[in-house]
Every structure is written in structure tokens, then in C-alpha cells.
Structure 1
Amino acid sequence: MSALRKWLFTGLLVIVPGAITLSVLNWIVGLLDQTLLILPQAWHPDRLLGFHLPGFGVVLTLMILLTVGALASNFAGRKLVQWGDAVVHRIPVVRSIYSSVKQVSDTLFSESGNAFRTAVLVQWPREGVWTLGFITGSPSGEVASYLRDEFVSVYVPTTPNPTGGYFVMVRKSECVELEMSVDAALRYIVSMGVVVPVDPLTLAAAQIPPNP
């Protein structure tokens, strides 16, 4: 029985990650394939080829993103985007939703943004209990005027789903900046501490060939 139990758990460890990965990829491809709905019916790959071939929506989405990015990068494109933002900000309900989403996307995807660039150790939810977080910036405006010391804005993700979490403002002196990458810290969080990040110093030492 112990051997059967061992084989069962070993099989699960092999199959479950691959099955979940394929399921997520299938969902993403299926979602992006909905982009094909913007094309005329006569241009649909299913109609041209005579059968369904998944993945064309991914290619079309990438082409749209690259085209919009190229157009918005020049002077005329930037002016057009600014004009569109001005129009949206005049719509009462839409402007509040759009402004919030745009601020988050500008922070996350902007090349000059500082979001999720540094992993830190913070004491959360109480003193003496430590967890991983990510510096997202510094308090400003009215909030900063009430904080007498130097604070940083930290996002503390939940585990195993890091898309939910808490926004806290912590004294910079109480944050321990880590050398691990953001990807390594996210893997550490998602795995609930099972996948331990490799110490950069240990990795560098392991890569140095021994003296002959």
C-alpha cells in the first residue's frame, strides 16, 4: 500500500502542473481567439481553411498591440491619445473607472514606472511576523503630509493567488530590500514557501570554477 500511495502522489506531482498549465494556456488562447470577431466573416481563418485552428487570435492580438503601440509612439499618435483621454474624462461615470484603470496600467506597464521592481521583507500583519512585499512607490500629496518619517508604498500579495493583496505604507527603515528578482519572489509566494529562491551569492559562488 505504501508503494501504491507513493506512485499515486508521484503521478499527481508529474501530471497536475502540466494539466493546469495546458488548461490555463487553452483558456488564454480561447480568450484571445475572440479577437477574430472584429474581422469580417469572409476573413475568418475557419472559413478560409475549412477547419478551426486555434492561435490566430493570439497573432491578431499581438499585431493590434504592436500597431497601436507604433502609432501612439509618434507625435500625432500621442496627440490623438491625449484627445481621446480628454473626451473620456468628460463622461461622468466612465471617467472615474477609466482614470483608475489607466493609473494602474501606467504604473505597471510604463518603462519609467517603479512598480514591482523591488522585493522587500516587511512585518505584516503584526510586528514579529514577516512576509514578502513589493515596493510600488512613495506616498505623496495629502497622505505624505501626515507621515512624519520616510515611508514607501508596499503591495503585500496573498498566497497562493498573488493578484489579491493589501496596500500598506511602511517606514523605509523597516523594510528589508532583497536581492532576489521579482519573478523569484512571486514564485516563492505562489508556492507558499516551497520553492525557495536561490541566494544570488550562493549561485555566483557555484558558477565560479574551482582553482586547478
Structure 2
Amino acid sequence: MTEKPEIISFAARLRTNFLTGMIICAPLAITIWLTFAFIDWADSWVTPYIPERYNPAYYFNITIPGMGLLIAVICITIIGFLGRNLVGRSVVNFGESLLNRMPLVRTLHKSLKQIFETALKEKSNSYKTVGLIEFPSPGMWALVFVATEATGEIAAKLNANGEEMVAVFMPPTPVPTAGFLMFVPKSKLKILDMTPEEGAKLLISGGLVMPDWKAVDSAMTVTGSNSKVTNKKAS
């Protein structure tokens, strides 16, 4: 006895086509919207400070999207170029010395500068490894980004029992821009093979976008003078 082929109703086909269209169009539309929203935000900050004789909109009587963003990028690049020579460094150091004398401003400036230097440093080793820790209770696992091993005072206070501690950052879902900095025993940390980008996609999607994975042997090793925790894959 042969089985009859399943008949798909017109409504089911219509729903499938609609969901397929949503999968194609929604990410594209959101990407375009966010891009233009960022361009408009940058233009609203920069364009009012552009002299009229240097603003193309003054001559052509039309608004050129992205002109403010382009000028901001050019100005930031020029400032970076000037800040790398002797005279520029002297000016920057003088400005920072003035900020460092202001009680509240110096704390904010130092914190922001340290964050940007860490995030934008070309050879930064921060958050290159993804792992799992048991949180909030045994048997439940949370995704974390591994920073480095505990050093200094924290290492002296936490490593008293001989267990090496590791600094990890645990962001929430679906916005991984905030979270908790925690120090956990290295033995309690499970290193994953996925990249930080794949880990971020997993967090933002709420667990829906799982990265592809092939079984390999992973082990934690400590390399470098800063004792960074890295992922070693056995061939």
C-alpha cells in the first residue's frame, strides 16, 4: 500500500512564502534603517558646525546624507595623525593634564580612555575566547567571554587556596553591551571553540543562531607575558 503524498494547502504555502520573505527582507530592512539612522545622527551633530562656504548643501540646495559623517571621519583621522607626532603629543598631554586636575572629569576621562584604548587597540587580545560557567546554579550554564587571568591584588586575594582565577565577562541576552565581570576558578570554566563573533550572534539571537561546530579537542593554555587564556585546538 503506497502512501498518499501530503497535500499542502494554499494557506500553508502562503504562510511559508511570507515567512521566507520575512527572513530575507527583515534583516535587510533593519540593516538599512540602522545605517541611515546612524548617518542622520552623525550629520545632526557635525553639520551645524560646518561653515556654509564649505557645506555643499549651501551651493546645491540639497541635503547630502553622510556629509557630516564623512567630515567627522576625516577630522578624527587628521587629529590622530597630528597626535602621533611630537608636537601633537605635547598638545594632547597638555590637554589631558588639565583634565586630570578636575575632580570629577578626570575619573570619567581616564575610565573612557582606558576602555577605548582596550577596545580599539590593533593587537588587543581581549575577549578572543568564549567559554561556559555554571550560573546561576549547578547544572545551569551561562555563556561568557574570557578576558585574562587574575593578576595583582585580585590574584593575591583569590588565589590563596592555590586555585587560579580567570576574569570573565557575562553579558545578558539580547543586548551584550552590559553585563557582569566575574572571577571564576579556571577549573570551573569550559572553553568553547566558537569565535567571539559567533558567541555574540548566539547571545543576540537568544540561542536561535547556533554556530557550526566540528568535534575537536580543546584545552586551555596560558601564553604571553600577560598570561592570556587562549584556545588550543588539537589537529
CA gap of 1:90–1:63, structure 2 versus 1, over 3 A, is same
Unaligned runs of 5+ in 1: 203-212
Cα distance in 1 for residues equivalent to 2:215 and 2:71:
43
| 2:99 aligned with 1:88 | yes
Is 1:187 matched up with 2:197? no
Q: How many residues align?
A: 202
Instruction: Provide closer, same or farther for how the CA distance between residues 151 and 78 of structure 1 changes in structure 2, counting only shifts above 3 A.
Output: farther
Q: Please tell me the root mean square deviation across aligned C-alpha atoms, in Å.
A: 2.2
Selected match of 1:20 from 20, 30, 33? 30
State which drifts further: 106-115 or 184-193: 106-115
In the alignment, structure 2 segments of 5+ residues that lack a partner are: 1-10, 217-235
**Quick one: structure 1 residues 49 and 83, their matched pair in 2 at CA, closer, same or farther if it must change by over 3 Å?**
same
Q: What is the TM-score when the length of structure 2 is the normalising length?
A: 0.76
1:49 is matched with 60
After superposition, residues 37-116 of structure 1 pair within 5 angstroms as 37-116=48-127
Judging by fraction of residues, say which structure has more helix. Answer: 1
TM score, norm. by length of structure 1: 0.84
Rate the CA distance shift 1:23–1:81 in 2: closer, same or farther, 3 A. Answer: same
Deviation at 1:90, TM superposition (A): 0.5
Percent of pairs identical after alignment? 30
Match of 2:174 in 1: 160
In structure 1, what is the equivalent of residue 222 of structure 2?
none
**Which residue of the partner structure matches residue 205 of structure 1?**
none
Cα distance in structure 2, aligned partners of 1:127 and 1:68: 51
Change (3 A) 1:185 1:38: same
Q: 1:112 to 1:87 in 2, by over 3 A?
A: farther
User: What do residues 93-151 of structure 1 show as CA deviations (whole Å, max 9, x unaligned)?
Assistant: 11121122122112211234332222222222222222221122343443332102321
CA shift, 1:184, in A, is: 1.6
The structure with the larger Rg is 2
> 3-state SS of the aligned residue for 1:120?
strand
Shift of 1:171: 1.5
From 182, 187, 192, the counterpart of 1:178: 192
| DSSP-derived class of the 2:126 partner | coil
Per the alignment, residue 8 of structure 2 pairs with: none
Residue 126 (1) aligns with residue 137 (2):
yes
SS of residue in 2 equivalent to 1:79? helix
Partners of 2:151 and 2:124 lie apart in 1 by 15
Change (3 A) 1:76 1:198: farther
**153-162 vs 109-118, greater mean Cα deviation:** 109-118
Q: Distance in 2 between the 1:176 and 1:82 partners?
A: 43
What are the Cα deviations for residues 26-74 of structure 1, in whole angstroms up to 9, with x where unaligned? 1111112132232212222211322112011222122122212222223
The one-letter amino acid paired with 1:98 is H
1:121–1:131 Cα contact (<8 Å) kept: yes
User: Which 4+ runs in 1 deviate beyond 4 A?
Assistant: none
Q: For the residues of structure 1 that align with 2:215 and 2:56, how far apart are their CA atoms? A: 51
1:201 Cα deviation from its structure 2 partner: 6.5
Q: Distance in 2 between matches of 1:77 and 1:120?
A: 42
